[in-house]
Amino acid sequence: MKKPVIAIDGYSSTGKSSISKVIADKLELIHLDTGALYRGITWYALQNCMDESGSINLENLFSSLPLIQLEFRNDGRELILHLNHKDISKEIRSNEVSDHVSLVAKQKEVRDFLLQYQRSLAEKGGIIMDGRDIGTVVLPNADFKFFLTASIDERTKRRYHELLSLGIEAEEQQVKENLIERDKIDSERDIAPLKQAEDAIVIDNTSLSKEETIESILSYIQKI
Residues that bind ligand DC (CB under 6 A): 12, 34-35, 38-39, 101-102, 105, 131-134, 182, 186
The residue among 2 and 190 lying less far from ligand DC, judged by its C-beta, is 190
Distance CA 200, CA 184 (A): 21
Between β-strands 86-87 and 79-83, what pairing exists: parallel, antiparallel or unpaired? antiparallel
To ligand DC, the closest distance from the beta carbon of 130 in angstroms equals 7
Estimate to the nearest angstrom the gap between the alpha carbon of 187 and the chain centroid: 14
Q: How far are the Cα atoms of 20, 26, 99, 138, 178 from residue 132, in angstroms, in the given order?
A: 14, 23, 17, 10, 17
The residue among 52 and 123 lying less far from ligand DC, judged by its C-beta, is 123
DSSP 72: E
The residue among 38 and 144 lying less far from ligand DC, judged by its C-beta, is 38
To ligand DC, the closest distance from the beta carbon of 132 in angstroms equals 4
Burial pattern 48-70, b for ≥16 Cβ within 10 A else e, equals ebeeeeeebbbeebeeeeeebeb
To ligand DC, the closest distance from the beta carbon of 134 in angstroms equals 6
The residue among 35 and 126 lying less far from ligand DC, judged by its C-beta, is 35
Query: Which residues on neighbouring strands pair with residue 203, listed in sequence order?
Result: 148
CA angle 11, 115, 46 (to 5 degrees): 70
Q: CB of 196 within 8 A of CB of 202?
A: yes
To ligand DC, the closest distance from the beta carbon of 183 in angstroms equals 8
To ligand DC, the closest distance from the beta carbon of 51 in angstroms equals 22
The residue among 31 and 182 lying less far from ligand DC, judged by its C-beta, is 182
